[in-house]
Amino acid sequence: MRKQTKQMERLEQIRQHTLQDIERLKEELQAEIEPASATDDDSADVAADIYERGKIISLIKSLETKTHSLEHAIELAAKGMYGICEMCGVRIPPERLEIMPETTVCVNCAGKLEEGIRRRQIQMSDQDDYEDHLSEEGEYDEEDYEDEDEDLEDEDL
């Protein structure tokens, strides 16, 4: 298949924008941290600051995840495979790619993946009767699981 040069350029542009957003948020986060440590006399303010920081951190994390996804989408475009669902092989509608350019699965498969993540999150939060049975269902291929595992680990930091 031919390289999807146009798509690669577009994805790379979005990736650059996303990286800039991450930088900007990190600066914002830095600015939030400094005044909070200087004035710890007002606990309500401190709580608000912590809340604000939490929001920025989760935003940074989701943008970092998006960057990884974009890099993966760029690799696929290089192979001429961008816009084709990685799990079931159907063509992803252009409207979906317009809204979520980093996506590499169709809406159906994305739903299945999310379902799998949710179940594993419930499983992870319930460490006492931790069982490995969910991963044995084999609905998704190993590669997708590995990607999602990385994302989950990031959230624990």
Binding residues (CB under 5 A) for Zn ion: these are 85, 87-88, 106, 109
Q: Smallest distance, Å, CB 142 to Zn ion?
A: 17
What span, in angstroms and rounded, lies between the C-alpha atoms of 70 and 59?
A: 16
Give the nearer residue to Zn ion in terms of CB position, either 57 or 117. 117
Q: Smallest distance, Å, CB 66 to Zn ion?
A: 20
105-119 burial: b if 16+ Cβ within 10 Å, else e: bbeebbebbeebeee
Write 99-108 long-range contacts (CB < 8 A, 24+): 101/10, 101/11, 101/14, 101/70, 101/73, 102/11, 102/14, 102/66, 102/69, 102/70, 102/72, 102/73, 103/69, 103/73, 104/69, 104/72, 104/73, 104/76
Q: Smallest distance, Å, CB 147 to Zn ion?
A: 15
Q: Smallest distance, Å, CB 143 to Zn ion?
A: 14
Give the nearer residue to Zn ion in terms of CB position, either 63 or 145. 145
Give the nearer residue to Zn ion in terms of CB position, either 60 or 109. 109
Give the nearer residue to Zn ion in terms of CB position, either 55 or 91. 91
Give the nearer residue to Zn ion in terms of CB position, either 15 or 104. 104
Q: Smallest distance, Å, CB 106 to Zn ion?
A: 3
Let me know if 103 is exposed, middle or buried by CB neighbors in 10 A (0-12, 13-18, 19+): buried
